Structure 1
Amino acid sequence: MIDHIGFAVSDLSAARAFYERALAPLGILVLMDVTEQMTGGHGAHTGFGKDGKPFFWIGTGKTASGSAHVAFVAPDRATVDEFHRAAVAAGGRDNGAPGLRPEYHPDYYGAFVLDPDGNNIEAVNHGGAAE
């Protein structure tokens, strides 16, 4: 199951304004802003979603990281760890070792790998069993 998806935009403010208006009729609202400082220099991002769960992200991104980001739900932290090992063994490049990402929420445990085209692929567990 896909947990969330995101991609880079050339002008975050303009894209945010566009998506705020375009997605409002669908009940999809801005739920989170993540600054470049919060990501350790990996761009600023805006998360849109419903019911407190952001699932559509836009951000400034880095050109070296491709333009797409897809995150898959993992049932537990061990599976996130295994995803990271398997993806790196398959030729992916580490883009964030398995670990907690409290800047997103206290139980956010994820791992990131760049695929052969530089797209950012993630496995994430939000604590406990996957939803």
Structure 2
Amino acid sequence: MLIFDHLGITVADLPHAIAQFDPVLTALGFSRHDADGSVSWQRDDEPELILFPARETGTGPHRHGQVGWQHLAFAVESRAEVDRLHEIAMDAGWSAVRDPKEYPRFTDRYYASFVEDSSGIRIEFMHNPPREP
């Protein structure tokens, strides 16, 4: 049984957030499910990611480093996949926080990019293969 069932994220503008999240999550193999007042994506038996509109206007954007959300990392199969997803996010209107590069401070194999949407939600695309024996 999975420990995490779903992740709910509050966004400032739901239609705009859908336009930003949908290309990225679709490229990751998630299926979209629209509901009244929210939208979600799910892949196989993995946790569901749900976007909700903010209850009050003017409460965003989220500021990275403040109490609350930090970022969500998507582990992918290759450096090329990190690069591909980064470009998809850029084309969908995300802002690059850090372009794809190596992060030797994590491991000598860690390669990642970080992007933020218009609500200040940060995600990471990362590839960190196991160390070869």
With normalisation by structure 2, the TM-score equals 0.46
With normalisation by structure 1, the TM-score equals 0.47
